[in-house]
Structure 1
Amino acid sequence: MTAAITFKNVTKKYLSLSGETTAVDRFHCTIPEGEFVGIVGPSGCGKSTLLSMLAGLFPPTGGEILLFHEPVTGPSPVIGYMLQQDYLLPWRTILDNVWIGLEIRGQKTTEQIEYAKSLLYEMGLEGTEQKYPHQLSGGMRQRASLVRTLAVRPKILLLDEPFSALDYQIKLQLEDLIARTLQKHKITSVLVTHDLGEAIAMCDRVLVMANRPGRLKNIVNVPEEIRALSPLEAREHVEFHKLFRKLWGDLQNVE
């Protein structure tokens, strides 16, 4: 199986007036193409720092990150990044927001526009094309944000706490919708979350980070019987609760 993402002993250090701080320490992991991986750990353990380095926003201090065996040297067109906030432009309609990435890349062709519209329909946003962000609910705006990210056809999707600002019911609905969409389009995905249940319900594997400096403490495989279910159904499976307790125990014992 092709390796989509490879972390090779990645370290990130920051310098400040108070001295040197190691945010990530010798992180080593390979993520195959098409896999959905979750990253959990205590606040400040370097989860978002890993995503930012993976996205090419800044380089590691040591080690190397590869995308499809090529070193990351800056932002890559193969990566899409979805954040907690939707960052839709308030003066543009939903459809205009959705294809802004295509405009920036000079890829706003008739074919790409139709693909973007099909994603809107797939996300249950048909009829919102000419509306503005303030006319949509928070959950609908997050769906529109995902469509904008997927419209440029990324091979890898980074999700940094994308549901944390939403009501629990909307969050569960979005988990189901996004999990189905990513599986359908076979997109390699990395989810950073504080919600252990979310990581288990959506992901194939869960990477557990130890605290300060951030290190990879454990890798937990989600059983096939859970992965075969929707995120909502997965939460009712007996193995889900066993895995939740294991991850909870791992996090209580981080060093």
Structure 2
Amino acid sequence: MTAISFAGVGQKYITVAGETLALRGIEFLVEEGELIGLVGPSGCGKSTILSLIAGLLLPTQGEVRVFAELVHSPSPDVGYMLQQDYLLPWRTIHDNILLGLEIQGKKTKANMEQALRLLHEMGLAHAADQHPHQLSGGMRQRVALVRTLTANPQVILLDEPFSALDYQIKLQLEELIQSTLKEKRLTGVLVTHDLGEAIAMCDRVFVMSKNPGTIKSVYPIPEEIRDLSPFAAREHPEFHALFRQVWRDLQDAD
């Protein structure tokens, strides 16, 4: 089943300086359970695409659909993870992960129990009564993932969620998120400036060009790489050949 579809999507921004065309002619499909990566130069519209999927923006041209439904506003079916965890410092970890349920009016006993199970699965059950300042950056991002998953979304948007972390923690979280999405058969869109991350985690990588943003190329990731963890994928011989190919394409996209 098609989870996300873009059909002839264009996006304009109007400012005091004039009109800017951010995206032009964006066309793609993402199948249910697929994780795609968006890479490209700064300003090519990667985060704008996420905002359109999330319903935070409406396209000035074309259509965006999630599970065949026209996107016209934010939906609980779409979860969003950012570079910053945005945990509320005055709330405990337990209360932070329940925030989405509170906003949606779905703070039932069953949903709260599910949230605690997720916290346990992420190895954070011991931190439930702690506050965000007591946790490391990697732990806070795991809490942010639990908070996102607790709302039971079908689509997860990832906007450079690992960029503020050190390399070891980044690799651990890449593996955790990739395996979680596969296990729960969630659809994901990853925006990253790290090409290696996109190839190691995703099923397909979209290369974007800018001014205005367009989809320049699409690279399916070979199954022998997709079947590996992100750490092991980086050691596969085909990974390096594909990295060099996409890297050359990215240089032309800038």
Q: TM-score range by the shorter chain?
A: over 0.9
Q: Partners of 1:101 and 1:69 in 2: how far apart?
A: 24
Deviations 1:173-203 (A, max 9, x none): 1101111111111100000000000000100
Does residue 84 of structure 1 match 2:83? yes
Q: How does 1:39-188 map to 2 (within 5 A)?
A: 39-188=38-187
Structure 2 residue aligned with 1:233: 232
1:98 maps to amino acid: I
Q: Partners of 2:17 and 2:117 in 1: how far apart?
A: 52
Does residue 12 of structure 1 match 2:11? yes
2:172 maps to amino acid: Q
Deviates more, 1:12-21 or 1:202-211: 12-21
What is the SS of the residue equivalent to 1:21?
A: strand
Kindly tell me the number of residue pairs found equivalent between the two proteins.
254
CA RMSD of aligned residues (A): 0.8
Deviation at 1:107? 1.1
Deviations 1:199-244 (A, max 9, x none): 0010000011011100000110000000000001000000110111
Q: Partners of 1:97 and 1:81 in 2: how far apart?
A: 15
Q: Partners of 2:63 and 2:150 in 1: how far apart?
A: 29
Q: Partners of 1:102 and 1:65 in 2: how far apart?
A: 26
Structure 2 residue aligned with 1:199: 198
State, as a whole percentage, how many aligned pairs show the same letter: 61
Q: How does 1:31-42 map to 2 (within 5 A)?
A: 31-42=30-41
Q: Partners of 2:176 and 2:55 in 1: how far apart?
A: 28
Q: Partners of 1:210 and 1:123 in 2: how far apart?
A: 36
Structure 2: 5+ residue runs without aligned partners?
Answer: none
Structure 1 residue aligned with 2:211: 212
Q: Partners of 1:157 and 1:206 in 2: how far apart?
A: 16
1:46 maps to amino acid: G
Deviation at 1:17? 2.8
Q: Partners of 2:42 and 2:241 in 1: how far apart?
A: 23
Deviations 1:135-184 (A, max 9, x none): 00000000000000000110000000000011111101110111111111
TM-score (norm 2): 0.98
Q: Partners of 1:150 and 1:84 in 2: how far apart?
A: 16
TM-score (norm 1): 0.98
Deviation at 1:18? 2.6
Does residue 250 of structure 1 match 2:249? yes
Deviations 1:65-107 (A, max 9, x none): 0111110001011000000000000000001000111111111
Moved beyond 6 Å, runs of 4+: none
Q: Partners of 1:15 and 1:142 in 2: how far apart?
A: 34
1:179 maps to amino acid: Q
